Amino acid sequence: MRLATLDAEALALGLTPGMTLADARAREPDLRVFDADPHADQDWLERLCDGCARYTPLAALDPPFGLMLDISGCAHLWNGEEALAREAAERLERHGLHVRHALAGTAEAAHALCRYAVGAAADEDAAVRRLPVEALRLGDESAVGLRRAGLRTVGDLAARPAATLAARFGEEAVDALHALLGLGQRPLAPRRPRPAIRLERRFAEPMGSTAFALQTLEEMAAEAGERLAERGQGGRRFEAVFFRSDGLAFPLRIETSLPVRDAPSIMRLVRERVEALSDPLDPGFGFDMLRLTVPQAEPLAPTQLALEGGEARRQEDVAALIDRLSIRAGRGRIQRLHPRDSHIPEQAQLALPAVESRGPVNWGQQQEAGDPPMRPIHLFDPPQPIDVIAQVPEGPPHRFRWRRTVHEVTRYEGPERISPEWWKAKDGTLANESVGLTRDYFRVEDARGRRYWIFRHGLYGAEAPHPGWYIHGLFA
């Protein structure tokens, strides 16, 4: 058991991350410890990042315990950069957090100044050059190597030729140095991508009623629908964020299988989502801002019911049912089969969430009308092994044992040979484990009239000395 993270008081006592718990308790018997939970820490950091979206849409995570805000073009709304930073720090400190912040022209410089800056400097460039080499985040071994070479600060590295640094410490050191000095910018990856439509409502006084917040959200949904109609689009994903006055944010996300822009339809799904929440939507001291975004929009052509009849209406009803069931049961619980470009039976279709509706796909004509089915109604995945008595090398099965029951084969059709996907073989041979073996399928009927789909896995001698038999599906 080792210490993972310490607060300021523990650091002042001389404790360090990585120290064993026994040594730490020997120094400080009254030490209070808690089990580390990285997943909970990540969730908490993401919630704080969502709350900081009130200041700028470009809010990103800076793991393991930092946030990065690009406030370009946003500072004037808060009477300057310092006022914005002070407001953000005060909101975070209300949750018992110890906050340090820094302002710089690049994300790398802000990160380094926030963690390593000591004392005041004339300007940003001078402050960056005074930072220790650890600010480059090259790792402990690289930092030790730089210090042994007499390079202790970023300014020492900047005074050396880039070619010399790259030859001795690698190109990563030069790239990190240029990024820190502002010579090479790295784009910031915000937690929330820029949506197609973004609406906000700010309130002079915090709003303590969830019902009133949902009513306001419905007005915003109607406005978003008007904007989508002007573009000839409909939304496939909607995200509403409820910002509380204490700095926390509660996001609600819904998806639809078809593009929509009707406010009542959107709010019906939002209310379904609110009712399905395990943690109720608690306004606390009140919501002071609401935001509605449409991250994904697709073309939505107007429909003519007089020409299309009831088919379009039936499709909309089915889509609405799928959306409501997905909201209640979960996104991955309601699935739909989509065809794939593969002739392997168990890989010919893929089960995806029904709300991820793709364009209409032609499944193709599998057989002539009136002919018996070529594929079973029920497919086993994976196929189940069986014991078979059959003629060697490629004869049909006469008897097989499945689930401790012997079945006498009275009729059969086949074989239907399905070759493996030879183009995926790593060594160029068909009998490669990564692509499987040749399959000979038979449609068989036993003495009681039950029909099965079984196959022999592998060719005698060429691919397997003793090919196995499997049952892959049931016709009835």
User: Which residue, of 303, 338, 360, is where some domain finishes?
Assistant: 303
d(CA 161, CA 145): 17
pLDDT for 223: 94
3-state secondary structure (DSSP) of residue 457: strand
DSSP 8-state symbol, 57: S
Inter-residue contact 162 to 175 (CB < 8 Å): no
d(CA 301, CA 83): 47
Query: Residue 263 falls within a domain, yes or no?
Result: yes
31-84 residue pLDDT tens: 999 999 989 889 889 888 988 888 888 899 988 889 999 998 888 888 899 999
| Tokens of residue 205, six digits | 């006084």
pLDDT for 365: 55
Whether residue 304 has pLDDT greater than 90? no
Query: Does residue 212 share a domain with residue 145?
Result: no
d(CA 378, CA 19): 58
Inter-residue contact 293 to 195 (CB < 8 Å): yes
DSSP 8-state symbol, 52: G
Inter-residue contact 418 to 438 (CB < 8 Å): yes
3-state secondary structure (DSSP) of residue 351: strand
Q: What is the mean pLDDT of the chain?
A: 84
CATH code for position 215: 3.30.1490.100
Q: Which long-range contacts (CB under 8 A, 24 or more apart) does 181-184 make?
A: 181/109, 181/125, 181/128, 181/154, 182/105, 182/106, 182/109
470 or 318, which is more confident? 470
pLDDT for 281: 83
Query: Does residue 236 share a domain with residue 171?
Result: no
Query: Does residue 467 share a domain with residue 403?
Result: yes
| Tokens of residue 131, six digits | 């930072």
| CA-based nearest residue to 347, from 372, 377, 383 | 383
Quote the percentage of the chain above a pLDDT of 90.
23
Whether residue 308 has pLDDT greater than 60? no
pLDDT for 294: 92
DSSP 8-state symbol, 71: -
The residue segments making up the domain with residue 272 are 197-303
Q: At what angle do helices 162-169 and 140-148 cross, to 10 degrees?
A: 120
Query: Does residue 208 share a domain with residue 120?
Result: no
Query: Residue 277 falls within a domain, yes or no?
Result: yes
| Tokens of residue 116, six digits | 């390593």
Query: Does residue 171 share a domain with residue 124?
Result: yes
User: Which residue, of 303, 326, 356, is where some domain finishes?
Assistant: 303
Average pLDDT over residues 189-202: 85
382-400 residue pLDDT tens: 899 999 999 888 888 999 9
Query: Residue 323 falls within a domain, yes or no?
Result: no
Query: Does residue 235 share a domain with residue 142?
Result: no
3-state secondary structure (DSSP) of residue 91: helix
> What single string gives the DSSP state of each residue in 325-392?
HHHHH-TTTSEEEEE-S--SGGGSEEEEETTS----------S-TTSPPSS-SEEEEEEEEEEEEE-T
Residue 230 region by backbone torsions, left for phi larger than 0, else alpha for psi between -120 and 50, else beta: alpha
End-to-end CA distance of the chain: 58
Inter-residue contact 195 to 295 (CB < 8 Å): yes
Q: How many domains does the chain have?
A: 4
CA 354 vs CA 161, 238, 259: distances in Å: 57, 17, 14
120-162 residue pLDDT tens: 667 888 888 888 888 888 888 888 888 888 888 888 888 888 8
pTM score, whole prediction: 0.58
Query: Residue 21 falls within a domain, yes or no?
Result: yes
d(CA 350, CA 360): 15
Give the number of C-alpha atoms closer than 13 A to the C-alpha of residue 118, restricted to the C-beta side.
Answer: 6
Whether residue 181 has pLDDT greater than 90? no
Give the number of C-alpha atoms closer than 13 A to the C-alpha of residue 303, restricted to the C-beta side.
Answer: 14
Burial of 272-300, coded b for 16+ CB within 10 Å and e otherwise, reads bbeeeeeeeeebeeebbbbbbbbbbbeeb
pLDDT for 434: 46
User: Which residue, of 181, 211, 235, is where some domain finishes?
Assistant: 181
Query: Does residue 281 share a domain with residue 156?
Result: no
Query: Residue 308 falls within a domain, yes or no?
Result: no
Query: Residue 146 falls within a domain, yes or no?
Result: yes
Whether residue 328 has pLDDT greater than 70? yes
Residue 404 identity = R
Whether residue 5 has pLDDT greater than 70? yes
Query: Residue 296 falls within a domain, yes or no?
Result: yes
Whether residue 303 has pLDDT greater than 50? yes
d(CA 334, CA 355): 8
- Range scoring the smallest mean pLDDT among 21-25, 213-217, 298-302: 298-302
Query: Does residue 45 share a domain with residue 174?
Result: yes
| CA-based nearest residue to 63, from 5, 22, 125, 124 | 5
Query: Does residue 129 share a domain with residue 70?
Result: yes
Whether residue 258 has pLDDT greater than 90? no
The confidence band for 356, taking pLDDT boundaries of 50, 70 and 90, is confident
Query: Does residue 201 share a domain with residue 116?
Result: no
CA 30 vs CA 12, 13, 27, 101: distances in Å: 15, 12, 9, 31
Query: Does residue 173 share a domain with residue 114?
Result: yes
- At 42, give phi and psi (nearest 5°): -65, -40
Which residue is listed with tokens 């010399």?
A: 164
pLDDT for 317: 78
Query: Does residue 152 share a domain with residue 236?
Result: no
Helix or strand run (H / E) with residue 228: helix 210-231
Which residue is listed with tokens 């929330």?
A: 192
Residue 80 region by backbone torsions, left for phi larger than 0, else alpha for psi between -120 and 50, else beta: left
Query: Residue 117 falls within a domain, yes or no?
Result: yes
Q: Is the dihedral of CA 465, 466, 472, 475 positive or negative?
A: positive
pLDDT for 451: 93
373 or 281, which is more confident? 281
pLDDT for 350: 79
